[in-house]
A and B are shown apart, each in its own frame.
Chain A
């Protein structure tokens, strides 16, 4: 069903990673991204990738989900690999005209691909194991310091929550409007690109009108429920760090140190680096 788009990302579960505090999950994901970009040789990078598989196994997320999340970025990966392969110096092992493929080029292309794949899979794991609400709460909590420089953090988080809440509602509405317009003879399946784009106008206009009406009613309902911004507001579910989160952070820091040590060692041994 089209309705379940937003919720399709999240796999409810009870694993170690699911139970972690969402703030810590964001911090660790950030650390992991930095780690991927510091790991510049075969050993460190493959270590970091192996770590990712470990995470997926602990979280009990089917590994085939990685391929699913990679699909949309496939062109970027291929493009990066080609660039790295073609424009890297060194002894050519294969040469036609201006195309020179070197051993170093192939190695670099592989490393770069591994890095991007791990990057996508790592960040996807965050959304697979964290519900959208927990994610918005965590973002709100982590950005709280920005309040001091007048960034409306609470309002941004509220907007995100409402957006998530209304995606399925508006999708349902779009389907209804499409059917209504089709019943009136609107043609949406045939014609060129321009014609199809033009056919969307009679769908978008009613959709926007109704979205504004909904926004108006929602604002009224929120006011009736005493909403007055983030000040003085409490939360039902408070984010709590547990020992679990400490363990995860220490584990991550140790691995980060290992990757850095691996980098130093690689340079010393003269291994090719990115």
Chain B
């Protein structure tokens, strides 16, 4: 598969304000690559550097050591900054703080307007982007009248209208209610499946991570685990050690196997878990 983003041994740190400018290392020689069309979740405890990593993907931050290559462009190259930002869109946690205009469609047009696109083309892109996130009926509404999930979808549309090749989302569902979370996840999955968009989803909801193709677990500025969700979530104890949970089904299977029940550990879906459990019960002669 073709690499879209690759981070080669990147390090990054902030200067601490309280402790006389002491350098606090956030990323420490991290290596990572994300392929074209992949749907990747990045998991990690608070302060493990996952948001900092995300900001390296579109040149908001540049590493002080190592290189980030996005679609063949190095983020150290200042002339390429806007090309990089055009190909990697970013969605943040709080939808309120990323909506610029007072009308939905004007806000979606903000990105393309900055790129200097013709007005007819902008109209077409805005319409398409709003239809992609199912917010076309709300194009003339004021953003503050929308629900959290709707606002976040408008923010996603604002990024989509720029026609990026990849979307990086920094905990886009953290401030939303369950309904809003579902709406946003559906939209993101659709973009990935139907339009082949590369998606990097930073989250701390395990069930969201379980829906991705690949899960990367970060700890202390390094990659701890990297693989398919089924594989990553079998490391239950390791995940718990870095302050993360596992999906409830995985946890149930893990506890059962610790108690001596023979059950596979890589179960993520509820239905799958029910089937596995009834199989075991049948084997023991209990009628399901």
Q: Which residues of A contact B (CB under 8 A)?
A: 3, 7, 131-133, 161-162, 164-165, 168-169, 172, 214, 217-218, 220-228, 232-238
Q: Does A161 contact B100, Cβ atoms closer than 8 Å?
A: yes
Q: Does B100 contact A133, Cβ atoms closer than 8 Å?
A: no
Q: Does B114 contact A233, Cβ atoms closer than 8 Å?
A: yes
Query: Across the interface, which residues of A come within 8 angstroms of B60, CB to CB?
Result: 220, 223-224
Q: A234-B122, A236-B122 are in contact. Are A227 and B97 (CB under 8 A)?
A: no
Other than the known A234-B113, A236-B106, what 20 A-B pairs have Cβ atoms closer than 8 Å? A3-B144, A133-B101, A162-B100, A164-B102, A172-B144, A217-B98, A218-B97, A220-B60, A220-B92, A221-B90, A221-B98, A225-B110, A233-B113, A234-B119, A234-B122, A235-B122, A236-B109, A236-B126, A237-B106, A237-B119
In the assembled complex, the Cα of A234 lies from the Cα of B111 at a distance in Å of 10
In the assembled complex, the Cα of A177 lies from the Cα of B85 at a distance in Å of 36
Q: Does A238 contact B119, Cβ atoms closer than 8 Å?
A: yes
- Most B CB contacts (10 A, CB to CB) among A3, A165, A223, A232 go to A165
Measured between C-beta atoms, what is the minimum distance from A175 to chain B in Å? 13
In the assembled complex, the Cα of A220 lies from the Cα of B90 at a distance in Å of 10
Q: How does the 8 Å CB contact mask read for B62-105 relative to A, with 1 for contact and 0 for none?
A: 00000000000000000000100110011010101111111101
Q: Does B97 contact A226, Cβ atoms closer than 8 Å?
A: no
Number of A-B contacts (CB under 8 A): 94
In the assembled complex, the Cα of A226 lies from the Cα of B159 at a distance in Å of 10
A-B contacts, 29 listed (Cβ < 8 Å): A3-B144, A132-B102, A133-B101, A133-B103, A161-B101, A161-B102, A165-B100, A165-B101, A168-B142, A172-B144, A218-B98, A221-B97, A223-B85, A224-B58, A225-B89, A225-B162, A226-B82, A226-B115, A226-B162, A227-B110, A228-B82, A233-B113, A233-B116, A234-B118, A235-B122, A236-B109, A236-B113, A236-B122, A236-B126
Closest to B90 in A: A224
Interface residues of B in 6-65 (CB under 8 A from A): 58, 60
Closest 6 CB pairs of A and B: A221-B98, A236-B109, A217-B97, A225-B111, A168-B144, A226-B114
B229 interface residue (CB < 8 Å to A): no
Measured between C-beta atoms, what is the minimum distance from B158 to chain A in Å? 7
In the assembled complex, the Cα of A224 lies from the Cα of B119 at a distance in Å of 21
B149 interface residue (CB < 8 Å to A): no
B172 interface residue (CB < 8 Å to A): no
B112 interface residue (CB < 8 Å to A): yes
Query: Across the interface, which residues of B come within 8 angstroms of A223, CB to CB?
Result: 60, 85
Measured between C-beta atoms, what is the minimum distance from B89 to chain A in Å? 7
B225 interface residue (CB < 8 Å to A): no
Query: Across the interface, which residues of A come within 8 angstroms of B111, CB to CB?
Result: 225-226
Query: Across the interface, which residues of B come within 8 angstroms of A238, CB to CB?
Result: 119
Q: Does A169 contact B144, Cβ atoms closer than 8 Å?
A: yes
In the assembled complex, the Cα of A226 lies from the Cα of B111 at a distance in Å of 6
Q: Does A227 contact B114, Cβ atoms closer than 8 Å?
A: yes
A235 interface neighbour in B99, B119, B144, Cβ under 8 Å: B119
Measured between C-beta atoms, what is the minimum distance from A207 to chain B in Å? 14
In the assembled complex, the Cα of A236 lies from the Cα of B109 at a distance in Å of 6
Closest to A215 in B: B97
B117 interface residue (CB < 8 Å to A): yes
B114 interface neighbour in A7, A161, A172, A228, Cβ under 8 Å: A228
B123 interface residue (CB < 8 Å to A): yes
Q: A161-B101, A236-B119, A236-B122 are in contact. Are A221 and B92 (CB under 8 A)?
A: yes
B148 interface residue (CB < 8 Å to A): no
Q: Does B144 contact A224, Cβ atoms closer than 8 Å?
A: no
- Most B CB contacts (10 A, CB to CB) among A162, A222, A224 go to A224
Closest to B107 in A: A165
Q: A220-B60, A221-B98, A222-B100 are in contact. Are A133 and B106 (CB under 8 A)?
A: yes
Query: Across the interface, which residues of A come within 8 angstroms of B122, CB to CB?
Result: 234-236
Q: A168-B144, A225-B110, A225-B158 are in contact. Are A236 and B100 (CB under 8 A)?
A: no
In the assembled complex, the Cα of A162 lies from the Cα of B102 at a distance in Å of 8
A218 interface neighbour in B100, B105, B112, B143, Cβ under 8 Å: B100
Q: Does A133 contact B102, Cβ atoms closer than 8 Å?
A: yes
Query: Across the interface, which residues of A come within 8 angstroms of B143, CB to CB?
Result: 165
Query: Across the interface, which residues of B come within 8 angstroms of A133, CB to CB?
Result: 101-103, 106
Closest to A132 in B: B102
Q: Does A235 contact B113, Cβ atoms closer than 8 Å?
A: yes
Query: Across the interface, which residues of A come within 8 angstroms of B123, CB to CB?
Result: 236
Q: Does A236 contact B90, Cβ atoms closer than 8 Å?
A: no
Interface residues of B in 154-202 (CB under 8 A from A): 158-159, 162
In the assembled complex, the Cα of A267 lies from the Cα of B208 at a distance in Å of 81
In the assembled complex, the Cα of A224 lies from the Cα of B111 at a distance in Å of 9
Query: Across the interface, which residues of B come within 8 angstroms of A228, CB to CB?
Result: 82, 114
